[in-house]
Amino acid sequence: MEVIRTRALRGPNLWSHHTAVESIVSCTPEERSVDKIPGFEVRLRTRFPRLAQLQPDGHADTIPMAHVLELAALGLQAEAGCPVTFSRTTPTLEEGIYQTVVEYTEESVGRLAMQWAEKLCRSAMDDTPFDLAGALHELHELDEDVRLGPSTGSIVHAAIARKIPFRRMTEGSMVSFGWGSKQRRIQAAEMDSTSAIAETIAQDKELTKKLLDAAGVPVPTGRTAEDAEDAWKAALEIGLPVVVKPKDGNQGKGVTVNITTREQTIAAYNAAKEFRDDIMVERFLAGHDFRLLVIGNKLVAAARRDPPHVVGDGVHSVRELVDIVNADPRRGTGHGTALTKIRFDDIALARLALQGLAADSVPPIGQRVVLRNNANLSTGGSASDVTDDVHPEVAARAVEAAQMIGLDICGVDVVCDSVLRPIEEQNGGVVEVNAAPGLRMHLSPSYGKGRPIGEAIINTMFPEGDDGRIPVIAVTGTNGKTTTVRLTAHLVAASGLRVGMTNTDGVYVNGRQIDSGDCSGPRSARNVLNHPDVDAAVFETARGGILREGLAYDRCKVAVVTNIGAGDHLGLNYITTVEDLAVLKRVIVMNVDEHGYAVLNATDPIVAAMAAKCKGKVIFFGADRYHPVVATHLAQGKRTVYVENGQLVAVEGKNEQRIALSDVPITFNGTIGFQVENTMAAVAAAWAAGVSWDAIRRGLLTFTTDSHNAPGRFNIFKYRGATVIADYGHNPDAMLALVKAVDAMPAKRRSVVISGAGDRRDQDIREQTEILGKAFDDVVLYQDACQRGRADGEVVGLLRQGLQGASRTSKIDEITGEFNAIDTAMDRLQDGDLCLILVDQVEESLAYIAKRIAAA
């Protein structure tokens, strides 16, 4: 078995809505039926006992090794703790070649699982050892390392529950929610609206205390110390006991509490200096350590924090008791788990010494042994939820503290005996205000119930009813995609929205091109969705991008399928038939939002059949109102677009809108059939997206197919009394549509310039010139620079074969180079002639044609 290629499908794809790893797997004849390999399954299950059944009960199908690989990759992830359920293996038309798809939650873990699964299969085949424990450990550790921690994860889960899209911006905890102009961002427990000034204030403990004191929030007295001796002097001024801590520290680093002697003060000062240069000394407040969490000026959670400790049992030593506590699966080494392991270090040993204990001491039953002065979870502390006990006055002081500093998400540390009574009555106070506070103690407290912190943060960023989404219109099909995308974007922009658009010519934001080339894939779409100046997005969605990576979005508001026809690009990437192509293209239809629309060509049976796969509603379009699909949809009172008496008609129930095709320049008064179809599709898409009819009418009237507005899409030029048309058509269906269009345009003599894409099937290349040979007098064949895997002259040879027996063509030229071919055709043009130039290098060829015309 050989894994030929592996790639990650990062969005909804041909196989499922899940993110998945797709591999192309080659199996030897023996490996195509592992059930016939003696002892294989026994050896396999010896190495991985919990592997799923190779096939359901009652089935007797042939089981290829690729299917075993699939099940192993899925099973290994599941055993490592990943919530994955979907996998599939499909044979291709190539004998012994299979497509294997396995869901993942973290891409790197999915890829690693495929590698381990391959090792498992080889091990069972060759009867060699397999380290299952090592595989699961590596997968689990990697998953722990790369997946979001509990704090950020809770926010993401809350967004998912609200159907708000999200994207990890880094490998850490920076996450973007929503799209375009409606997106918001977080970094751990910090929102994008948190100002740098507020964060700076929170880090400056002395300034924080001054501001809180001015606002009437009780705080302990204190000041900064210049050196260790000054720290002792400050302690005496304030009154013992005191706390020594860094002025701008976090997570309890360098904090020493309840100091009563000069020696302790000096040691605490030196410990704090290891973390920061500026050190504070303040009055020690007796009582419990409480963390109050304020989000959006509301108290949403409160917890009592206890320092890391163990309780003696009269049998185990302190060190052994720590090991027992750390064995709790909720405790880990970082922030990826609900609790953190207790550190048994020099600080812990020093704290033990103060209690007259050592690491090997065996404390009696019930003795509480404290291992640190601070109660931070990051150093092994524990938390008990007390949210329901917080007195309104205590909550008010916490909210005032957050407001005074200016934090949207704020952890307020309070020391007092109880949160059941006002702080002032207990001589308690606010000892710290924290930006980006830890959320673990509130999500999964050691004792008590967890609080919906993620929901509170998401609800603060996105009010009820706001899902952070901008309208996304996806367009696919065989022909007409780019023109439909450009026209749709133009109509949406006419409504006043800033539009992001991707197509085979580039990426555009609010009319400005920000990238060039073929940008019809998911990477470009993601770039648009991440752009803050985009209010709506229109994406050309090509087959290649769906195959390579899936969609860039989880769902769209509108999905448009222009046509499938006889297809294009068949024979590539195991898409061999028109039916295969339709299954791939309908991915956008299957991922329409339940409140969205699929816009489908009613006259293309394969496209019309996609309606059954749409979760939302359907708008059918077709020129003939009496076509069975159109007529049925009309009779049902559903949205339909058709043509009647030279007018484009849009109907829903008794509501009707009519637009004269004479007011739609790209249709040339309705004479260019494929442009009428493109217009119907674009109008239906804009209608589905909520664009007003006034805006649609304005947009149609102002959109033209010149080389700037729609390059390579039936661009018409005048040259020495002749008509020159430049188009990017490159498949048989496009040739038929172009021939029909030029038939409506009078000409003395017709010529056409054409090459062919080498990655098309032979019959598709030949068929193009078979069609053109019936409609053009002169045909200029050219070989361009990129033959896409074909030998020199091979494509031109196929094109010439298509012209054999042509009923109209009388002159055929074979030219090397696109510009030379253009020169050959244009040099012959006479007044009243027509020349169709099928361009390959769109921008370069259009510029060359324009230059020739300007020089004429």
As given in the structure block, the two tokens for residue 645 are 């008496």
3-class DSSP assignment, residue 475: strand
pLDDT tens-digit profile of 464-499?
999 999 999 999 999 999 999 999 999 999 999 999
pLDDT at 375: 80
Contact 169, 386 (CB under 8 A): no
CA distances in angstroms from 533 to 420, 495, 527, listed in the order given: 48, 15, 11
302-357 pLDDT, tens digit per residue, is 999 999 999 999 999 999 999 999 999 888 876 667 788 999 888 889 889 989 99
d(CA 642, CA 680): 7
Residue-level pLDDT at 249: 67
Angle at 841 between CA 839 and CA 844, to 5 degrees: 105
**What six digits make up the tokens of 703?**
């959109």
- List pLDDT tens digits, range 554-600: 999 999 999 998 767 787 788 889 999 999 999 999 999 999 999 99
Q: Is 456 exposed, middle or buried (0-12, 13-18, 19+ CB in 10 A)?
A: buried
- The whole-number pLDDT of residue 251 equals 62
What pairing do the DSSP bridges indicate for beta strands 429-435 and 409-416?
Answer: antiparallel
List domains and CATH numbers for the chain.
Answer: 2-146 (no CATH), 150-191 (no CATH), 221-283 (3.30.1490.20), 312-369 (no CATH), 472-702 (3.40.1190.10), 715-855 (3.90.190.20)
Give the angle subtended at the CA of 17 by the CAs of 13 and 22, to the nearest 5°: 50
Residue with tokens 């658009």: 501
DSSP state of 729: -
Q: What is the C-alpha to C-alpha distance for residues 765 and 784, in angstroms, rounded to an integer?
A: 14
**CA–CA dist 280, 226 (Å, integer):** 9
Q: Please report which confidence band the pLDDT of residue 707 belongs to, taking 50, 70 and 90 as the band edges.
A: confident
Q: What mean pLDDT is predicted for residues 77-93? A: 97
**Cα–Cα distance measured from residue 456 to residue 298, given in angstroms and rounded to the nearest whole number:** 9
Q: Which tens digit of pLDDT belongs to each residue from 351-408?
A: 899 899 999 999 999 999 999 877 878 788 899 999 999 999 999 999 999 999 999 9
Query: What integer pLDDT is reported at residue 833 of this predicted model?
Result: 97
Classify the C-alpha dihedral 369-371-373-377 as positive or negative: negative
Nearest to 450 by CA among 396, 399, 383: 383
Sign for the CA dihedral angle at 300, 301, 302, 306 comes to negative
Percent of the chain with pLDDT over 70: 99
Dihedral of alpha carbons 325, 327, 332, 338, sign: negative
Question: What's the pLDDT tens digit per position in 720-764?
Answer: 999 999 999 989 999 999 999 999 999 999 999 999 887 788 998
The sign one gets for the Cα dihedral 627, 630, 636, 641 is negative
Tokens for 332? 């880990």
d(CA 155, CA 361): 43
CA pair distance 375, 806, nearest whole angstrom:
88
Peptide bond into 665 cis (omega under 30): no
241 CB-contact burial (10 Å; exposed 0-12 / middle 13-18 / buried 19+): middle
Output the pLDDT for position 426.
93
β-strand 556-561 against 592-601: which pairing, if any? Answer: parallel
* Interval 613-671: pLDDT, tens: 999 999 999 999 999 999 999 999 999 999 999 999 999 999 999 999 999 999 999 99
Distance, in Å, from the CA atom of 441 to the CA atom of 377, rounded to the nearest integer, reads 7
Quick one: average pLDDT of 188-203? 94
Report pLDDT for 250: 66
Average pLDDT over residues 767-776: 95
- The CA distance from 821 to 787, in Å, is 16
- Global pTM value: 0.88
Task: Report the helix count and the strand count for the chain, using DSSP H and E.
Answer: 28, 38
- Lookup: tokens for 193: 């609206």
Q: In this predicted structure, what is the pLDDT of residue 786?
A: 62
CB atoms within 10 A of CB 352: 20
Nearest to 622 by CA among 640, 638, 606: 640
1, 64 Cβ separation under 8 angstroms: no
Distance CA 76, CA 67 (A): 14
Closest CA to 307 of 400, 364, 374, 243: 374
